[in-house]
Amino acid sequence: MIFRPAVFLLAAALLSIGDDATALDQASVKRGYAEGPYGFVHYYEAKPETAGASVPLILFHENPTSGRGYSEILSYLGTKRRAIAIDMPGYGRSDPPPGPVSYEEYAVAIMTALRNAGIGSEQKIDVLGHHGGALLATEFAVRFPTQVRRVILSGIPYRLAETKTIEPSNRNEKPEDSEAWFDALWARAFSAKPDSVSADDIASIVVETMLPMQRRWYASATAPAYDLPANLRRIRQPVLVLLMHESLYENSKRALTEMPTARALEAPEARSFGYIDAAAPLAKTIAAFLDSPTP
Amino acid sequence: MKWMRAWAILAAVALLTLALPFVQAAADTGRVTRAYVDAGWGQIHFYKSEPVAKTDAPPLILFHENPASGIQYTNLMQRLGKTRLVIAPDTPGYGSSDGPKQPVSMEEYARALMQALRAAGIEPGTKFDVFGFHTGSLLAATFAALYPNDVRRMIVSGVPLRTEEDRAQRLAALKRAETALDLPQWFAQIWDRIVVKGPGDLDAERRVQLAIETLKPMQRRWMAYDAVYRVDIAALFARVRQPSLVMLIYDGLQEKTKGVAQYLSDGRIVDLPKVNRIPFDRAPDEVSAAMLKFLDEPLAAR
């Protein structure tokens, strides 16, 4: 359980082996539904043809997108382990809660759905979360300490309010506001598009982000109430922090102060759409961490 | 989505009180679920509604218009699912179904959908009924012609009966070179049609949902039209031997639809003059009543 109390900054050593990584096998990614307390939870899943001994990995997306953004990396991770990227309730193709709910409630709802997707209470799992998904991964680790084995966090929105003006979430948003949302989202997504990410991938993210309609603010409205610093301190499992070179790089680095035993890896190749255009090298790094022997 | 939210609340309350019998009773009132099966070009997604009690009524399959998805039938299914198993698949490439990379024929779509129905539990030997609207009407007729021993009765509405010349022109004009970058222009058009100029008696949330649903096929939303314009509708309908109902819905295609009745060997017409645009959300009672009347009545042999 105890990692060396130092922060590893292995700049790009593992992550830059891009060419080699293209030779990696890829599993097919399928979609499915599992029942949860708010209705169906939709998920993307890849797994090896024969069930191996590897612990399943659950991936949590940033808001207000969906698990679809993990399709590429699932295909790599799924060659050795069951890898499931869920759509948070109310996002992607998952049914919404009746109103905004806390991250604690989201975690409980998702765990119920995972049980119905065949993840038994005795089954160990690993969790990965990016941005808002990092809150869910943290909550999973703290709430289900015996079931969650290892934790991977990236883009940690640590003390976000101190570094960035958080747009007030629009609680009065109406369905008809979706058109303005589409235009703004489209412009923002394409202005941030690196050459390495296809227009199809960006458009697909925009479409996914349209699906929550006027409920897209639910998760972002409840995120500030989640005591991330305290919960990061409560994590007892081995943690890997991927320092991706994107908007929450500095926040993620600062979050490490709460987790002195966490391992941190610089991931300069992984920028804003890192899980898409750096999927292969990230999958290698993630698998190496998950498969490493318990120290 | 209002009904879905209502359902979520209802289900949560029921679970909290551990009133299991209540949950089952509630499930009988037409809950619509969703699932995927392996079929066609990957997975096919479908909506499903069924009664809890065993029923002798043949299952009913609903084929949607393009570029929508099975989601357009969810309100209708709450009614139809009380007495029979109802399945509304997303046509491959639309909604949440995987699609072909190149255009395929209507028959190939039908074969993929039959594969999906088998995977969804419709066993060989089970007779079922089909309903189709617009593009879906051609799928329904293709099913009836292709699977004469499986399809019992057929209902079609909004049949795009066109001259050969018209079809050839439309086929030539089809925008095949669309890319993802054309999506904003498409969204503006569909938004104007469904949300801005859509019928005011349909709540805004549903109109927006239907508009957003048409974004899912992205730049390949033209693909099923390639199959549509290649169908010789008169010849196809002449191959249909099953008892059939031609439903006139006044959304602009009613005259063309009326024209196909002459090609059917066992066709009849039902006129719904008060039913027009977005009929399955705005007039689900009228539409389901007309469907059930035809599906459940004993028919004299012709």
pLDDT digits (tens, 9 = 90+) for A52-91: 779 999 999 999 999 999 999 999 999 999 999 999 999 9
Task: Please report the pLDDT score of residue B12 as a whole number.
Answer: 47
Residue A119 has pLDDT above 90, yes or no: yes
The C-alpha of A248 sits at a distance from chain B's nearest C-alpha, in angstroms, of 28
Q: Where does the pLDDT of residue A166 fall: very low under 50, low under 70, confident under 90, or very high at 90 and above?
A: low
| H or E segment to which residue A267 belongs | strand A263-267
Task: Please report the pLDDT score of residue A164 as a whole number.
Answer: 64
Residues B219, A211: C-beta atoms closer than 8 Å = no
Residue A275 has pLDDT above 60, yes or no: yes
User: Mean pLDDT lowest for which of A164-178, A267-281, B204-218?
Assistant: A164-178
Query: A1 or A178: which carries more pLDDT confidence?
Result: A178
Express as a percent the part of chain B with pLDDT over 70: 89
Residues B184, A178: C-beta atoms closer than 8 Å = no
Q: Are A29 and A45 in contact (CB under 8 A)?
A: yes
Residue B221 has pLDDT above 80, yes or no: yes
Residues B15, A186: C-beta atoms closer than 8 Å = no
What are the tens digits of pLDDT across the range B251-286?
Answer: 999 999 999 999 999 999 999 999 999 999 999 999
Task: Please report the pLDDT score of residue A4 as a whole number.
Answer: 38
Asked if A39 reaches chain B (Cβ–Cβ under 8 Å), the answer is yes
Chain A residues within an 8 Å CB radius of B35? 32-33
Amino acid at A44: Y
Which chain B residue's Cα is nearest to A211?
B212
Residue B204 has pLDDT above 80, yes or no: yes
Residue B20 has pLDDT above 60, yes or no: no
Backbone phi, then psi, for B255, in 5-degree steps?
-70, -45
Residues A200, B218: C-beta atoms closer than 8 Å = yes
> CB under 8 Å to B59, separation ≥6 — which residues?
B84, B85, B86, B87, B122, B126, B128, B129
Closest Cβ–Cβ partner in A39, A200, A213 for B8 = A39
Q: What is the mean pLDDT of chain B?
A: 91
Amino acid at B150: D
Residue A290 has pLDDT above 50, yes or no: yes
Q: Testing the interface with B: which of A29, A177, A200 to mutate, by most B Cβ within 10 A?
A: A200
Q: Which of B46, B142, B40 is nearest to B100 (CA)?
A: B40
Strand segments (E) across A21-97: 30-36, 39-46, 57-60, 83-86
Spatial distance between the Cα atoms of B261 and B20, rounded to a whole number of angstroms: 48
Closest Cβ–Cβ partner in B179, B188, B208 for A213 = B208
Q: Where does the pLDDT of residue A171 fall: very low under 50, low under 70, confident under 90, or very high at 90 and above?
A: confident
Residues A182, B184: C-beta atoms closer than 8 Å = yes
The C-alpha of B215 sits at a distance from chain A's nearest C-alpha, in angstroms, of 6
Q: Are B248 and B269 in contact (CB under 8 A)?
A: yes
User: Regarding beta strands A148-154 and A30-36, do their DSSP bridges make them parallel or antiparallel, or are they unpaired?
Assistant: unpaired
| H or E segment to which residue A274 belongs | helix A274-277
Residues B184, A38: C-beta atoms closer than 8 Å = no
Chain A to chain B Cβ contacts (< 8 Å): 88
Task: Please report the pLDDT score of residue B17 as a whole number.
Answer: 41
Residues B12, A175: C-beta atoms closer than 8 Å = no
Cβ under 8 Å to B: A residues 177-216: 178-179, 182-183, 186, 199-200, 202-204, 206-207, 210-211, 213-214
| H helix runs in A223-273, sequence order | 228-234, 249-255
User: Mean pLDDT lowest for which of A216-220, A251-255, B15-19?
Assistant: B15-19
Task: Please report the pLDDT score of residue A25 as a whole number.
Answer: 85
Q: Where do we find the tokens 């570094």?
A: A163
Residue B21 has pLDDT above 50, yes or no: no
ipTM for the predicted complex: 0.89
Task: Please report the pLDDT score of residue B29 as a whole number.
Answer: 60
Chain B residues within an 8 Å CB radius of A203? 180-181, 183, 218-219
Q: Where does the pLDDT of residue A157 fall: very low under 50, low under 70, confident under 90, or very high at 90 and above?
A: very high
Residues A207, B9: C-beta atoms closer than 8 Å = no
Task: Please report the pLDDT score of residue A19 as a whole number.
Answer: 40
Spatial distance between the Cα atoms of B168 and A194, rounded to a whole number of angstroms: 41
Q: Testing the interface with A: which of B4, B5, B41, B221 to mutate, by most A Cβ within 10 A?
A: B5
Task: Please report the pLDDT score of residue B26 as a whole number.
Answer: 44
Spatial distance between the Cα atoms of A87 and A69, rounded to a whole number of angstroms: 10
Backbone phi, then psi, for A31, in 5-degree steps?
-115, 155
Residue A31 has pLDDT above 50, yes or no: yes
What are the tens digits of pLDDT across the range B70-119?
Answer: 999 999 999 999 999 999 999 999 999 999 999 999 999 999 999 999 99
> CB under 8 Å to B258, separation ≥6 — which residues?
B246, B248, B269
Backbone phi, then psi, for A179, in 5-degree steps?
-70, -45
Chain A residues within an 8 Å CB radius of B1? 96, 213
Rg (CA), chain B: 19
The C-alpha of A214 sits at a distance from chain B's nearest C-alpha, in angstroms, of 8
Please give, one letter per residue, the 3-state secondary structure of chain B.
Answer: CHHHHHHHHHHHHHHHCCCHHHHHHHHCCCCCEEEEEEECCEEEEEEEECCCCCCCCCCEEEECCCCCCHHHHHHHHHHHCCCCCEEEECCCCCCCCCCCCCCCCHHHHHHHHHHHHHHCCCCCCCCEEEEEECHHHHHHHHHHHHCCCCEEEEEEECCCCCCHHHHHHHHHHCCCCCCHHHHHHHHHHHHHHHHHCCCCCCCHHHHHHHHHHCCCCHHHCCHHHHHHHHCCHHHHHHCCCCCEEEEEECCCCHHHHHHHHHHCCCEEEEEECCCCCCHHHHCHHHHHHHHHHHHHCCCCCC
Task: Please report the pLDDT score of residue B14 as a whole number.
Answer: 46
Q: Which of A97, A37, A29 is nearest to A67 (CA)?
A: A29
